[in-house]
Structure 1
Amino acid sequence: MAGQSKPARLSPWGSAVAGASGAVIANALVYPLDIVKTRLQVQVKRPNKATSGTPGDDDDNEVHYTSTVDAINKIMASDGMAGLYSGMTGALIGVASTNFAYFYWYSIVRSIYMASNRVPKPPGTVAELSLGAVAGAVAQVFTIPVSVITTRQQTQRKEERKGLIETGREVVNSEDGWTGLWRGLKASLILVVNPAITYGAYQRLKETFFPGRASLKPWEAFLLGAMSKALATIATQPLIVAKVGLQSRPPPGREGKPFKTFSEVMRYIIQHEGAMSLFKGIGPQILKGLLVQGILMMAKERIELLFIVLFAYIRKLRATKLRKAVENAAAQAKASLPVTTN
């Protein structure tokens, strides 16, 4: 019966820890791709400027990258291997907090949905996307400051590189003040459709290809996670590029004037580079997404299974201790009874 499988389900807290742990592992493994896609997305090519990528070509010493491989080579040439991991601490903190919040709230809102007798079960595609969007929106409000700081760190030059706290102070001391830590919040709230599409597609693919399965094999979770993330990335790439533009320093052509809205970023990119530039960096973005989402869901499935086994073992130990305590109490009570003789 369906009710018999409920004890095997994790609490929202357990699901959140599993999701956050999987996300940290996945993002740590492919972090250099995150640096590359951010650098590609934030750069704006300007006409009549050399783009060979060596410092000194532009009056502001701006380095330009032509591809993923070109970006890796130039970052390593100027900053060494450490350059590919710039801002990693803040990024992983952001990944952990965002995914913890997302999976926590997603588990809660989905449990509420499944407990209702007025809605169809399992939830349809639209309902699954809506549940993911609600969870993603709540998570973004609490975690976007770390995303803003990380984006700044990833686009800093070697000579001006700062730590997490110092970069945060720089953001706060800008013209936006404390609100600068929530720069790009509107774009981020719109971008909740990305994880919503990702996890909605994952659930639908899981129910379609592996119906009734409580857990998947590692390769199955990896494949479904990668497929669902690819779909989400292609659909939302222009918004991703606009969000990065909002959270990073303004390009030299703006003369220090920051963007105010994601639509302003998109107009600027189209004006200076053409509409297809809204998809710049999509190569490493998709590659990173495929690897991260695949590894994340694979790790999450394993960690959730580990938690279920661990919690079952803890419950068994508690039940055994309780039973022994009851038996000991009963034996002591029986021993203390007065012996009656005829």
Structure 2
Amino acid sequence: MTSVLPPFVQAASGSLGAASANTLTYPLDLITTRIQATEKGTSIRKQIHTYGLSSLYDGIGADTGATLLSSFLYYYVYSFLRALVVRGNGKSKAAMLSLPQELAIGYLSGIVSRSITTPLNLITVRLQTARVSDDSPTQRGTSRFTAIFRQILAEEGFRGFWKGFSSNFVLSLNPAVTLYLFQQYRRVMLKGRERASPPPGHSFVGGALANSIAVIMLYPLLLAKTVVQASRRSNSTNNSSQGLSIQSSLQGIYTVGGFFALYRGLGAQLFKGILRQGTAMMVKQRIEQLVVQAYLRQRALRRVQYKS
């Protein structure tokens, strides 16, 4: 079962749910990124003591903007493509599609959303890791967002804003797998009206479990992407970050720390994912329920007015 609401409603509810979850879990997201981007991680107590509590919200504006845009595009494209496939198969809107169809629709939706929001994601990673970097931009009279934007443009040109994008050809399976597993959870665990409109508790648990499985499957690539986006191009031949790619990042992490290094920060990523995806699904489902209830009330009111 999946939502039968119009694409715009699904996109709006999905983006608002994702933005709410992002705001709630942002400090944990920042901590996770810093653990992933640095071999030894960073002391959170030291960060707070040195830079203040506000340092745990570095880049939240850019990240929230990227989250809103990415989630809106993903759910809009997903619901639009799914409606086309369902209509072509002659099925009802709430019908389950096959696994290849669901994954293909989710994958294409992920590619579209990530291709547009990758520049904002890249700037967010730079903002999150700037305080633990020796070469963070500190230009007077400009915001840190603008300074990092100019830094990337000067060092690598416009193509630099899509640094690490190649990993998205695999990582776009993450939201596709997550959404598919969440739908399977609804199908197996819920019945009747609850299956079509899951209660908040089931929305949270289902979203958290689905996201955890998807993250574990693709985590090394997620780690490598963060390392690549956090790195800067340098003219120094001694700087290992020069020309860093997803493949070389994976090889470097494995060479230095072995297999388990490919999963550094996984615990924090899973904990963040449980809170974020669970909250996002819960808020999304609740908004859709409110939209349906408002529609039913409006229709009942029209009927009363018509009879009178």
Could you say whether these structures have the same fold, taking a TM-score greater than 0.5 normalized by the shorter chain as the test?
A: yes
Q: In the alignment, residue 122 of structure 1 is paired with which amino acid? A: M
Q: Distance in 2 between matches of 1:274 and 1:79?
A: 33
Q: Secondary structure at the match of 1:122?
A: coil
1:228 matched to which residue of 2?
A: 210
- Counterpart code for 2:261: S
1:128 paired with 2:102, answer yes
Task: Find out whether 1:189 has 2:161 as its counterpart.
Answer: no
Aligned to 1:198: 178
Superposition pairs for residues 325-336 of structure 1, below 5 Å?
Answer: none
- CA deviation after TM superposition for structure 1 residue 296, in Å: 0.5
Instruction: Rate the CA distance shift 1:241–1:251 in 2: closer, same or farther, 3 A.
Output: farther
TM-superposed CA distance for 1:313, in Å, is 4.2
Deviation at 1:275, TM superposition (A): 2.2
Task: Measure how far apart 1:239 and its partner are.
Answer: 0.5
**In the alignment, is residue 305 of structure 1 matched against residue 282 of structure 2?**
no
Deviation, 1:44, is 2.8
SS in 2 for 1:116: helix
Amino acid across the alignment from 2:259: A
| Residue equivalent to 1:239 | 221
Partner in structure 2 of residue 108 of structure 1: 80
**Is this contact kept in 1: 2:122–2:162, CA < 8 A?**
yes
Structure 1: distance between partners of 2:34 and 2:289? 37
Alignment match of 1:255 (pick from 225, 239, 261)? 239
User: Equivalent of 2:36, from 24, 33, 41?
Assistant: 41
CA contact (8 A) 2:13 2:287 kept: yes
Structure 2 runs not aligned, ≥5 long = none
Q: How many residues were matched structurally?
A: 295
TM-score normalized with structure 1 length = 0.79
Instruction: Tell me, in whole angstroms, the C-alpha distance in 1 between the residues paired with 2:137 and 2:47.
Output: 15
Instruction: State whether structure 2 residue 132 is matched by structure 1 residue 152.
Output: no
How far off its partner does 1:73 sit?
1.6
Q: Alpha carbon RMSD of aligned pairs, Å?
A: 2.7
What is the distance in 1 between the residues matched to 2:71 and 2:298?
26
- With 242-251 and 284-293 compared, the bigger mean Cα shift is at 242-251
- Structure 1 residue 310 displacement after superposition: 2.7
Q: 1:31 aligns with which of 26, 30, 53?
A: 26
Q: Corresponding residue for 2:280?
A: 296
CA distance in 2, matches of 1:103, 1:320: 35
Q: Which segment drifts farther, 186-195 or 109-118?
A: 109-118
Instruction: Label 1:274 to 1:14 Cα distance change in 2 as closer, same or farther (>3 A).
Output: same
Name the CA distance, whole Å, in 2 between partners of 1:203 and 1:273: 37
Q: Which piece of structure 1 moves more, 292-301 or 307-316? A: 307-316
Which residue of the partner structure matches residue 16 of structure 2? 21
Contact residue 246 and residue 261 of structure 1 kept, 8 A: yes
Q: Which residue number in structure 2 is paired with residue 170 of structure 1? A: 151
TM-score (normalizing by structure 2): 0.87
User: Which structure has the larger Rg?
Assistant: 1
The answer on whether the counterparts of 2:125 and 2:230 sit within 8 Å (CA) in structure 1 is yes
Contiguous gaps of at least 5 residues in structure 1: 46-63, 66-70, 328-342
Contact map agreement 2:137 2:151 (CA 8 A) in 1: no
2:123 corresponds to 1:142: no
- How many angstroms apart in 1 are the aligned matches of 2:259 and 2:91? 41
Q: Percent identity?
A: 31
